[in-house]
Structure 1
Amino acid sequence: MEENLLPPEQTSDNDRTIQVNIEEQMKTAYIDYSMSVIVGRALPDVRDGFKPVHRRVLYAMNELGFSSNKPFRKSAQTVGEVIGKYHPHGDKSIYDTLVRMGQEWAMRYVLVDKQGNFGSPDGDPPAAMRYTEARLHRVAEAMLEDIEKETVDFQLNFDDSREEPTVLPTRIPQLLVNGSSGIAVGMATNMMPHNMTEVVDGCIAYIDNKEITIDQLMAYVKAPDFPTGGIIYGMEGVRDAMATGRGRVVVRGRCHVETRANGREQIIITEVPYQVSRDALTDRIGQLVVDKVIDGVSDVRNESNKEGTRIVIELKQRDAVAQLIINQLYKYSELQTSFGINNVALSKGRPRIMNLKDLISEFVEFRMDVVTRRTRFELRKANERAHVLEGYLKALDHLDEVIALIRASRTPDEAKEALISRSREEKWYISQSVFAPTDFYTQEEGLTETQAKAILELRLQRLTGMERDKIVEEFNGLMDVIKHLTDLLNSESLRYELIKTELTLIKEKFGDARKSEIQYLADEMRIEDLIEEENVVITISHLGYIKRTSATEYRQQRRGGRGAVGSKTREEDYVEHLFVASTHDTMMFFTEKGRCYWMRVYEIPEGEKQSKGRAIQNLIQIPGDDKVKTIIDVKNLDDKEFVQSHYIVLCTKQGIIKKTSLEDFSRPRATGVNAITIVEGDELLHAEMTDGNKEIMMAVKSGRAIRFPEDKVRATGRGAIGVAGIEVDDRNDEVVGMICVNKDDKSKTVLVVSDKGFGKRTAIDEYRITNRGGKGVKTIHVTEKTGSLVGILYVKESEDLIITCKSGITIRTGIVDIREAGRATQGVTLIRLDDGDEIAAISQIEEEAEAETGDLSGEQPAAEAGPDQATENTNDSTTETDN
């Protein structure tokens, strides 16, 4: 190809004409221009997350002293300062930057406190800069903290008249929490905001494990979190962005349906997607209605105000399907919007696409550099101050000589030289009583020029005895500071711990809950994600029917009340076991024949409070002649450290006790495993999980209980028989329960209940510690009125007691309402029983406020639960009528 040369210019003999290739010249100029835009205008720095204009605005406000605890100042003053000193561009771009940093609908965490009209989420422009006022927000101050301690590099400004920082020493991972967007030359960036708490947790997780994977980090940083809330619809694009730096996030507005007094429904939009104008969305919906794209809508209006978003869509007919219209709004309007994620930022001066781990690692690396530089600065300043104090102390130890030398000198310079020479001749040192030699600070012989100058500038009042004590105290304090800073510089692990501590403080100061809800698509969900994590009551009937019910369905009642129907069962059946667990836990089922089976809580069928449930044999492979006796809740069987440090303690009706490591039960099998070998005529009664340091109590039907240390029972394998726990010599007597107690926990008491509805609480100290295998001591006074002992629990006052009768009646009452009494008493009435009815099972549950409401849906009134509307309670309880 022919070279396209510039035509030679007509010049004099003294001038020179340089001919260049115009193609190369344009290419070079355009590359220079594009790099200037990329580095100096459009892309953020990965370290502090700012473009130069944002950084300059915040730095200028900091230099002007516009801090969060000072009065607001005119925005025009900030803009003028930035233009004159750091950013010689148009005032509009600078003011727009200042305004956006103060808009809570644009920034997830605002950096500027605003006063005046800063615009609105509907797209209204802000007032002119001469009318509005601004100052730094506390979040921005955390980004500027320590900037005076040589933590970052500075560069000359546009006219070389002053210096400006190349980056801010932020303690906050700003790029992740607030995101960024910009269009450069040949590239662009669009980074989403995230939740501060999640990002900080992710940074700490990365510091703890540098080999952490993206999936593991996403357990902390789940998804973007927009300042306007909304619903993130689907996670596939988010996962792509987290893993590769490029992806797509779909955001929906939040809406619900309300019914008006005339019976017609209206759709209320309370949150709109990020960067969507509420007015524009209202106009768009109105246009869709006019164009007949959406039918059944009579009116659309924007009722939003300073309190929040409210867009009302009124439906025409009473039979209009609101959900169908909502789906049409998602399809045709900006109520559903997608954002392309493109994580491009400057790393070491070069643009780079970054995934989640890259962004976190770059920030942590930057914080390590800031902390190191800050520590060096503080150490230098501490050494300089200690050096001056060292000179003071030497002078005070030779005060008369110093005064004489100064008086004999004609000029300050002569006095300074005299002090230096005399102190070195006589080898002045600080006395050993003040300074002990260390490996991090060594005092010099005599005085240096700096010390001599400081002594000459010393005020006379510092020569008093009290002032000398202050100098000694300050010097010794500086020695501790210097040692700490030296250790910090010599240990990378200490610096990482300091970074984690500072991040934790940031989370405590500025962390908050998520605003954007995450909604998974059907093909993205794990079964655990589909199930809401909540506490449920698991019930198992005498004939083996199981179900789970929300704990809130069991309302709290005063003790002595009538109770309510808890489960519809056949006449010969009754609820025998109640257990409270989270839906994400693993349940271990132990049967009376000594077998162990496993099931996740969410796999247990859900049923109403009055429903019968499903036969347990249809869920786990239990033989027809066996039945579940006890269940244990385990959070995570994959946690090796946990399973290796915990045990399963089992007891039988004949008083046998056995302990086995939880690790032996950590590999679930569909057919179950043998937990204990049961001898003929005996059966498993109860099992509990312990940490190996508890005390075991066993109670028998006749009213006796024994207490002995857990270490009296050595751990054995799953197939072992066990050893004697309590003596059961009466053929009609048997063990009714076992509890594992913590001897140091004074907040808990022992609760015993008899089958005629009597019960009490007793302090654990009333039961003396004995060897296992003995008869024990009396725990309740058993009479014909009280009936036999039916159960024993280890409870605290913040819990509730759930009592289940053989007739299906249940009652929930606060533990705090059951009074404490001695071992040998018979207790107070807990529940009034119908003739022939008995208590079948007792269980404890953590007290929940929502359970303290009145009637529950589906609950039968008291007249259906028994013949009496009200019953008179004996002892110290009051008369109760069921609602």
Structure 2
Amino acid sequence: MSDSIVIGADGVEQMPLKAYTEKAYLDYSMYVILDRALPNIADGLKPVQRRIVYAMSELGLKANAKYKKSARTVGDVIGKFHPHGDSAVYEAMVLMSQDFSYRYPLIDGQGNWGSPDDPKSFAAMRYTESKLTPYAEVLLSELGQGTVDWTPNFDGALDEPAMLPARVPNILLNGTTGIAVGMATDIPPHNLREVVSAAVRLLDEPKATVAELCEHIQGPDFPTDAELITAPEDIRKIYETGRGSLRMRALWQMEHDDIVITALPHQTSGSRVLEQIAQQMQAKKLPMVVDLRDESDHENPTRLVVVPRSNRVDCKALMKHLFATTDLERSYRVNMNMIGIDGRPQVKSLDKILGEWLEFRTTTTRRRLEYRLDKVLKRLHVLDALLIAFLNIDEVIAIIREEDKPKPVLMARFGITDVQAEAILELKLRHLAKLEEMKIRGEQEELAAERDSLEQTLGSTRRMKTLVRKELLAAAEEFGDDRRSPLVQREEAKAFAEEDILSADPVTVVLSEMGWIRSAKGHDIDPAALSYKSGDRFKMAAKGRSNQPLVLLDSTGRSYSVATHSLPSARGQGEPLTGRINPPSGVSFEGMLLGRDDQYFLLASDAGYGFITRLADLHSKNKAGKAALTLPKGAKVMAPVPVAAIEEHFVVVVTTEGRMLVFPAADLPIMPRGKGNKLVGIPSARVQSREEYMVAMVVMGQNDSIKVYSGKRHLGLKLSELEHYIGERGRRGHKLPRGFQKVDGIELVSAS
């Protein structure tokens, strides 16, 4: 960049705007990444959090101290270390104090610090008081022992720690979220005992894989009792790549036929969940729920009550729907991006995170021991001088009294160093007591033993590992607790389909000749007796349930679907069917079907071709319908016939020539659409000229019987009486008795 700077004629430095803006943006980006948004792997803290914790320790706000106003802490932080807005600092303080946001809070707050329902509802900093929690000691206890580097603060007046000497992997324990420039971080919280156990395993086995570490760390552990329902293999994949997503689901139980929700997913608002359920109730999408209550209090922080309409409601299915449509189940992004010990941001796998942290911890421990060893050696050096002075006290006093510059004389006389001579000169008279020699020798022995121990540990990798392991396990013993978020395998949540939500009331749908449709409650309706418009009359009816879609078949062989529950009441005269679907002009409707999706129907044209189909295959989301039955030339659609069962059932067909054919229903194909197979042999030329065609059909079982109508006469026949007409599908069939060769229709008389 400096190459692009030029000196103008007026002596002012000049540089291209492009170069200036590029440098400014890069500088800002690096600042946001390294000094604001991303945590450091060493202590798991962002700079603002680190400065808050350090400032509070400097104010003496340890766990055993009295609370102080939060405004005092915020003032110290922004005045000494963090030259930014007070609200940003205070919000960071609040987050570190909320036990529903942090798995292991660092700040112990007194006053209103927000609630799980509304984390932003905390009081102003002038009202709240705070101090550090006992857990904060794992970050601070070794701070003054030469463990970390110190850097000047923003104005160079003070020094602040570049990082805190954490005794546990806080980066995983409390997790963090942040958005930098071009990158973000989302690290979930974990359980202290599990993380320490995995760290110890990696300490003992440096080549341990992520799968082996997952034997100790089951998964993230959020500060809520809600269930973590992500599959173990997916969690392991997250730990291997550093990226992925997790799903949490609320806890619920039944109490006196009511559903009681006792734990919500991390950072989920109970009032928001109730609002989502209420919106569905208002939209009539939850008819099986009659009431909602929020019974949360101090004893039960989360207690949401959902009251079903009756004890016949399937509460498991209802909760699956709520999991799929509300915040009772939430997903969380995982992106384990952090600043490593090399000072570079990187998304890291679990083994890399723990491996780098152990490297930092080992270095910190070594620096602490070296710092202590230096102190011990200096003290032993001074004690040697004090012992010399004590043993030669009269001579020392004489030199001090008689010499103008006693220090060089002492150094020459007793062969001591400048530091030792200074220690002798600063010796207080009280230390010349008779017992002082014993104290000096006792302290020398203790310090010598400590020196030997420190030198042995520093000189042995195995001893160093043992010390790190021992201190990790001690921290886990002191601050560890049981897992809060249970890991559970659950079925995938599924929202109700529209027909599941609707009540399954019995209805009879009625269609008139002029195409007006309506729905009457119950199955005991006489459709022909209803009132019709002038010149209109009853055409057809279908019986079923209000939650089953109605299927119509037009004269071109197209099928259409209509929502039964939305049809107008039969108390009126209905509404035109063409207002709900868009059939081709001039068509008429020849069939109306209502039933279960898996119910079978026989579709046929009067040319003698047909097939069996499932009702579900006739449904159409398109208002223009879809092709179902293909018509041969000159043929017409026949009214569909229900098929109670295919095995051991027979198809009975009759033509206008009075020919009847009976054949097994199993001989027909099951198809979603098409022309079908030949039912009865009618020459196509006779169909086209309308000389002969199929006039009636029915499907009957072994014990059923049929009535054949011809004018005012009818003939009742059982299956055993139809042996003469049984033949192969596609044959011409045999003629009915004289007087019944002009058939008007066939009626099935069911044995049931």
Per the normalisation by structure 2, the TM-score is: 0.63
What's the counterpart of residue 299 of structure 1?
291
Deviation at 1:237, TM superposition (A): 3.1
Is the Cα–Cα contact under 8 Å of residues 230 and 254 in structure 1 kept in the other structure? yes
Residue segments in structure 1 that go unaligned for 5+ positions in a row: 1-5, 260-264, 424-445, 524-883
Query: What residue is the counterpart of 2:639 in the other structure?
Result: none
Measured after TM superposition, the shift of residue 489 of structure 1 is 1.1
CA displacement at 1:521 relative to structure 2:
5.5
Matched, 1:342 2:335: yes
Alignment of 1:244 with 2:257, yes or no, is: no
Cα distance in structure 2, aligned partners of 1:103 and 1:19 = 49
- 1:108 maps to what in 2? 103
Q: 1:464 deviation in Å?
A: 2.0
1:256 to 230, 246, 253: 253
- Partner residue of 1:390? 384
1:316 to 281, 286, 309: 309
SS at match of 1:148: coil
Tell me: CA distance 1:88–1:297, structure 2 relative to 1, closer, same or farther (3 Å): same
- Where 1:480 maps in the other structure, the secondary structure is helix
Secondary structure of residue in 2 paired with 1:276: coil
The answer as to whether partners of 1:257 and 1:267 remain within 8 angstroms in 2 is yes
Q: Which residue of 1 aligns with 2:408?
A: 417
**Does residue 112 of structure 2 align to residue 117 of structure 1?**
yes
Say yes or no: does 1:468 pair with 2:437. Answer: yes
The answer for the alignment partner of 1:514 in structure 2 is 483
Q: CA deviation at 1:366?
A: 0.7
Q: How does 1:740-819 map to 2 (within 5 A)?
A: none
Distance 1:494 1:212, change over 3 A: same
Q: Does 1:126 align with 2:122?
A: yes
DSSP-derived class of the 2:395 partner: helix
Post-superposition offset of 1:283:
1.3
> How far has the Cα of 1:17 moved from its partner?
6.1
What one-letter code is carried by the residue in structure 2 that aligns with 1:139?
A: Y
CA–CA distance in structure 2, aligned partners of residues 467 and 302 of structure 1: 72
Q: Which residue of 1 aligns with 2:202?
A: 206
**Who is 1:276 aligned against?**
268
In the alignment, the residues of structure 1 paired with residue 48 and residue 92 of structure 2 have an alpha-carbon distance, to the nearest angstrom, of 7
Aligned residue in 2 for 1:66 = 61
In 2, Cα distance between the equivalents of 1:155 and 1:47? Answer: 16
Secondary structure, aligned partner of 2:444: helix
Q: 2:213 aligns with which of 217, 224, 239?
A: 217
Shift of 1:252: 0.3
- Name the aligned partner's letter for residue 303 of structure 1: E
Counterpart in the other structure of 2:425: 456
**What letter is aligned with 1:103?**
Q
Q: In structure 2, how many angstroms separate the alpha carbons of the residues matched to 1:383 and 1:306?
A: 56
Matching residue of 1:146: 142
Report how far residue 417 of structure 1 moved.
1.6
- From the superposition, tell whether residues 24 and 14 of structure 1 become closer, same or farther in structure 2 (CA, over 3 Å): closer
3-state DSSP of counterpart to 1:247 = strand
**CA separation in 2, counterparts of 1:503 and 1:178?**
17
How far apart are residue 18 of structure 1 and its match?
Answer: 3.1
SS, match of residue 147 in structure 1: coil
Counterpart Cα distance in 1 of 2:444 and 2:12: 70
Corresponding position: 1:332 with 2:325? yes
- Report the count of equivalent residues: 485
Q: For 1:388, give the aligned amino acid.
A: V
Determine helix, strand or coil for the equivalent of 2:482.
coil
Structure 1 SS opposite 2:83: coil
1:658-710 deviation digits (Å, cap 9, x = unpaired): xxxxxxxxxxxxxxxxxxxxxxxxxxxxxxxxxxxxxxxxxxxxxxxxxxxxx
CA distance in 2, matches of 1:408, 1:300: 95
Q: Are 2:229 and 1:233 equivalent residues in the alignment?
A: yes
Cα deviation for residue 306 of structure 1 reads 2.2
Among residues 41, 44, 48, which one is paired with 2:39 in the alignment?
44
Is 1:190 the counterpart of 2:159? The answer is no
Q: Residue 42 of structure 1 contacts residue 51 of structure 1 at CA under 8 Å; is this kept in 2?
A: yes
Q: State yes or no: 1:168 paired with 2:160.
A: no
Structure-2 residue corresponding to 1:711: none
- Structure 1 Cα separation of the partners of residues 95 and 302 of structure 2: 19
Question: Is the partner of 2:260 in helix, strand or coil?
Answer: strand
Matches within 5 A, 1:719-730: none
Q: Residue type of the partner of 2:181? A: V
What do residues 243-290 of structure 1 show as CA deviations (whole Å, max 9, x unaligned)? 11001111001111111xxxxx11111100001111111211221222
Equivalent residue for 1:370, pick from 348, 364, 367: 364
| 2-structure distance, mates of 1:184, 1:237 | 27
Q: State the SS of the aligned residue for 2:14.
A: coil
CA displacement, residues 842-874 of structure 1 (integer Å, 9 cap, x when unaligned):
xxxxxxxxxxxxxxxxxxxxxxxxxxxxxxxxx
Helix, strand or coil: the match of 2:307?
strand
CA distance in 1 between counterparts of 2:15 and 2:198 reads: 57
In 2, the alpha carbon distance for the partners of 1:493 and 1:295 equals 68
SS at structure 1 position matched to 2:217: coil
Deviation at 1:63, TM superposition (A): 0.8
Equivalent in 400, 412, 418 of residue 394 of structure 2: 400
Q: Distance in 2 between matches of 1:317 and 1:241?
A: 43
Distance verdict in 2 for CA 1:229–1:242, change over 3 Å: same
- What secondary structure, in the 3-state scheme, does the structure 2 residue paired with 1:323 have? helix
Amino acid in structure 1 at the alignment position of 2:163:
V
Paired with 1:19 and 1:372, the residues of 2 have a C-alpha distance of 48
Q: Which residue of 2 aligns with 1:663?
A: none
CA distance in 2, matches of 1:56, 1:302: 39
- Report the secondary structure of 1:159's partner residue: coil
Give the drift of 1:397: 2.0
Report the CA distance between 1:15 and its aligned residue: 2.8
1:286 is the counterpart of 2:278: yes
Task: Please list, as runs of the form range in 1=range in 2, the aligned pairs for 1:594-605 lying within 5 A after superposition.
Answer: none
Equivalent position SS for 2:97? coil
Q: How do 1:434-445 and structure 2 match up within 5 A? A: none
Query: Cα offset for 1:357?
Result: 0.7
Q: What is the CA distance between 1:19 and its match in structure 2?
A: 4.8
Asked whether the 8 Å contact 1:294–1:328 carries over to 2, the reply is: no
- Tell me, what secondary structure is at the counterpart of 1:190? strand
Report the CA distance between 1:466 and its aligned residue. Answer: 1.2
Taking the aligned partners of 2:164 and 2:12, their CA distance within structure 1 comes to: 47
- Give the CA deviation at 1:338: 0.5
CA distance in 2, matches of 1:301, 1:72: 37
Q: Does 1:484 align with 2:475?
A: no
Q: Mark the runs of 5 or more structure 2 residues left unpaired by the alignment.
A: 493-752
Give deviations 1:72-100, integer Å, cap 9, x for gaps. Answer: 01100000000000001000010001111
> Conserved in 2, the CA contact under 8 Å of 1:114 and 1:133?
yes
Partners of 1:512 and 1:344 in 2: CA distance: 26
Residue 253 of structure 1 aligns to which amino acid in structure 2? A
The farther-off stretch of 368-377 and 455-464 is 455-464
CA distance in 1, matches of 2:280, 2:316: 17
Measure how far apart 1:350 and its partner are. 1.1
Distance 2:149 2:209 in 1: 32
1:381 paired with 2:378, answer no
Aligned-pair Cα RMSD in Å: 1.8
Whether contact under 8 Å (1:72, 1:133) holds in the other structure is yes
Question: What is the CA deviation profile of residues 574-612 of structure 1, one whole-angstrom value per residue up to 9, with x for unaligned ones?
Answer: xxxxxxxxxxxxxxxxxxxxxxxxxxxxxxxxxxxxxxx
Corresponding residue of 2:25? 30
Structure 1 distance, partners of 2:11, 2:383, is 67
8 Å CA contact retained: 1:461, 1:467: no
Quote how far apart the aligned CAs of 1:468 are: 1.3
